[in-house]
Structure 1
């Protein structure tokens, strides 16, 4: 009898230990210095679509811009939040985004629909364990290693960072520096107060800053060994500079409003007045193609689709499969 009692005690102890261990691991937020959030091109366009581990997470304009998930082929959409989101990023089974209650899903009731909420949030990829990391009015944000770098909007704006486990919040720079162009430990950004050069901030060396390119240069995006940017000294045309040898070339001399890119093409909104259009070209500028005639914005790209909006139609998303057909239509869900 005594032996059975001891055995039962050991079993119960092991079960309790296993439950406690599982609970601790389940609540732990993984951190890795190599983590990287959404692409700079998408985040320059609001960060409305983000692909990770075989799923696309997106701000759904047909349901108050709430956070949704779906397969890359746009099947199986599921709502994850009841409020508007943007600047979506993620890593290691968690999503990070800015959420506010300026828009709320009409399909959700209860106390949450009448509260005023805003700030940087974290949740699991299924939408559970939603946690407010920071209660503040924020602009652009990016996951840079173990930290979220983000811009606050009040009092002129500033760049801050906070670790993904809600610790070690600190001021990085007293001006609204955009952190979205992050590559291998470096944030490439346009100066705000003193100049409009492109600078580099080394997040792994105390956020030390160095100059990269002089001029009036905007919306930097790193792709491979190249730094792409809009050149304000040349009518906001698109240029790129090789980060290895410093060679610079023009991608298109046309004036741009917005652009994003993937590993094969640049997608850009040509600002041509009545001739404005959404265009595409190769990464070196060749093969220019008109995709859509009109004033476009919110250009986001995933592995299978290009998404965009048309000026004056914020509640509608257009999409184009990246299979070479260039067939554009309105995104709809059954």
Structure 2
């Protein structure tokens, strides 16, 4: 029997390298394609995005940043049952759409090898189960919202400080700088971002994401607008940042609070808001028309994030604890024990 001749190494090595290059190109292109995200997708609510997107409710699940576990990414049912850890790194500005999560990575998970993220910060995409993670941008970003299959955010770098950027959700094209102005991307209705000017004025603006052009809606002195139906809710700079409502149809304005606000979050027909400028600042809740204001908890709070069952908030200056109360039911504040217990259990593993 004849022995087969061995091929010289100088023929084998180039073939292996070529195969590796082809596989690399294949997987790179494969990663640029994702399953479709519905055109009418808005990745999170305006109030939650202003609360740094710490909670995001999507298709019966709540994805959240757990402060008891270094702001790691968790998922649970809306009633806080069946809680699971998805990612060990700290996250914020959580958005969901289609089969994917999008979030800003605040800090790196320890460890190396498969399943660990090596970059320290940036915008990431993963499947809803936290798997198949991809980095879309490694720079700093805030106010990130998913609109259809595009991410809009305030992008930070050492050259231009803060600029409005658009990033394709698939990561298949280069991101685009849209404006050098600061555009708060929280409030989105029908492919339109409503925001207040911050550089030259405080007018109410609308940014059309289909044409990526902006127009002045109203020359008011506004801050933190939230568009809902025919109204825009905003904090009025002329009236010490009290909460007002502006009627888009006739231009009428109505004051909804007597107190100065720091933050607010509208969910369905209720408003959670943080008062300021009094001897007893407090987180408050009222109806959307300004009726029935009630104290949720005295003190100063931020990161107000609302879901269909609970509304979550953190003490200003102490981000290692989190409180919650029913969004619509009687006020009953506790420290989110399920999240604390889940964090303790994950530390044991």
> Which range, TM-score by smaller chain?
0.7 to 0.9
Instruction: Quote the residue 2:77 is aligned against.
Output: 71
1:81 to 60, 67, 87: 87
Would the aligned equivalents of 2:33 and 2:170 in 1 still touch at CA under 8 Å? no
Would the aligned equivalents of 1:280 and 1:290 in 2 still touch at CA under 8 Å? yes
2:316 to 306, 311, 322: 311
Would the aligned equivalents of 2:306 and 2:327 in 1 still touch at CA under 8 Å? no
- Using the TM superposition, give the Cα deviation of residue 225 of structure 1 relative to its aligned residue in structure 2, in angstroms: 2.2
More displaced 10-residue stretch of structure 1: 230-239 or 110-119: 110-119
Q: 1:101-250 maps to which residues of 2 (within 5 A)?
A: 101=107, 104=109, 109-110=111-112, 115-154=118-157, 155-166=160-171, 167-204=173-210, 206-250=211-255
Secondary structure of 1:329 counterpart: coil
Structure 1 runs (4+) deviating above 4 angstroms are 24-27, 111-116
TM-score scaled by length of structure 2:
0.83
Stretches of structure 2 lacking an aligned partner (at least 5 in a row): 1-29, 342-349
- Using the TM superposition, give the Cα deviation of residue 233 of structure 1 relative to its aligned residue in structure 2, in angstroms: 1.1
- Using the TM superposition, give the Cα deviation of residue 244 of structure 1 relative to its aligned residue in structure 2, in angstroms: 3.0
Report the aligned-residue RMSD.
2.2
Would the aligned equivalents of 2:233 and 2:245 in 1 still touch at CA under 8 Å? yes
Residues 78-113 of structure 1: CA distance to partner in whole angstroms, max 9, x if unpaired? Answer: 111121111111111211111132x64xxx644687
- Using the TM superposition, give the Cα deviation of residue 264 of structure 1 relative to its aligned residue in structure 2, in angstroms: 1.4
- Using the TM superposition, give the Cα deviation of residue 315 of structure 1 relative to its aligned residue in structure 2, in angstroms: 0.5
Q: In 2, distance between residues paired with 1:114 and 1:150?
A: 22
Secondary structure of 2:130 counterpart: coil
Q: In 2, distance between residues paired with 1:283 and 1:269?
A: 15
Instruction: Quote the residue 1:3 is aligned against.
Output: none
* Residues 114, 25 of structure 1: alpha-carbon distance in 2 compared, 3 angstrom cutoff: closer
- Using the TM superposition, give the Cα deviation of residue 180 of structure 1 relative to its aligned residue in structure 2, in angstroms: 1.5
- Using the TM superposition, give the Cα deviation of residue 243 of structure 1 relative to its aligned residue in structure 2, in angstroms: 2.3
- Using the TM superposition, give the Cα deviation of residue 26 of structure 1 relative to its aligned residue in structure 2, in angstroms: 12
2:53 to 44, 47, 51: 47
Q: In 1, distance between residues paired with 2:329 and 2:224?
A: 27
Would the aligned equivalents of 2:182 and 2:197 in 1 still touch at CA under 8 Å? no
- Using the TM superposition, give the Cα deviation of residue 25 of structure 1 relative to its aligned residue in structure 2, in angstroms: 11
Would the aligned equivalents of 1:139 and 1:152 in 2 still touch at CA under 8 Å? yes
Instruction: Quote the residue 2:292 is aligned against.
Output: 287
Stretches of structure 1 lacking an aligned partner (at least 5 in a row): 1-23
TM-score scaled by length of structure 1:
0.87
More displaced 10-residue stretch of structure 1: 113-122 or 286-295: 113-122
More displaced 10-residue stretch of structure 1: 157-166 or 115-124: 115-124
- Using the TM superposition, give the Cα deviation of residue 162 of structure 1 relative to its aligned residue in structure 2, in angstroms: 1.3
Q: In 2, distance between residues paired with 1:317 and 1:63?
A: 12
Secondary structure of 2:106 counterpart: strand
- Using the TM superposition, give the Cα deviation of residue 146 of structure 1 relative to its aligned residue in structure 2, in angstroms: 2.0
Would the aligned equivalents of 1:223 and 1:263 in 2 still touch at CA under 8 Å? no
- Using the TM superposition, give the Cα deviation of residue 261 of structure 1 relative to its aligned residue in structure 2, in angstroms: 1.1
Pairing 1:275–2:283 present: no
Q: In 2, distance between residues paired with 1:179 and 1:128?
A: 27
Which structure has the larger Rg over C-alpha atoms? 2
* Residues 244, 175 of structure 1: alpha-carbon distance in 2 compared, 3 angstrom cutoff: same
